[in-house]
Amino acid sequence: MGGAPSLILPNLWLGGQDVLDSPEFFVKNNITCVLSLGPAVSISICLTL
């Protein structure tokens, strides 16, 4: 799944590997946990900001 992520519910984003290497996106949107099930990154990460 490529392209930009979409905010589908409050605090729930879907898709968009365009921002995987962009810590600014995660900080700007207060995203602290990521679950990736695709081939680009197959790990779960949680960040302490």
pLDDT value at residue 7: 93
3-state SS class at 23: helix
Structural domain containing residue 29: 6-46
> For residue 1, is it within any domain?
no
How many structural domains comprise the chain?
A: 1
Q: 48 pLDDT exceeds 90?
A: no
pLDDT of residue 46: 63
Single pTM value for the model: 0.65
Please report the pLDDT score of residue 23 as a whole number: 85
Cα distances (Å, whole numbers) of residue 37 to 16, 17, 43: 12, 11, 7
Q: For 4-32, how does the pLDDT look when each residue is reduced to its tens digit (9 = 90+)?
A: 899 999 989 987 778 878 888 888 998 88
Q: How far is CA 4 from CA 48, 49, in A?
A: 23, 22
> Does the residue 37 lie in any domain?
yes
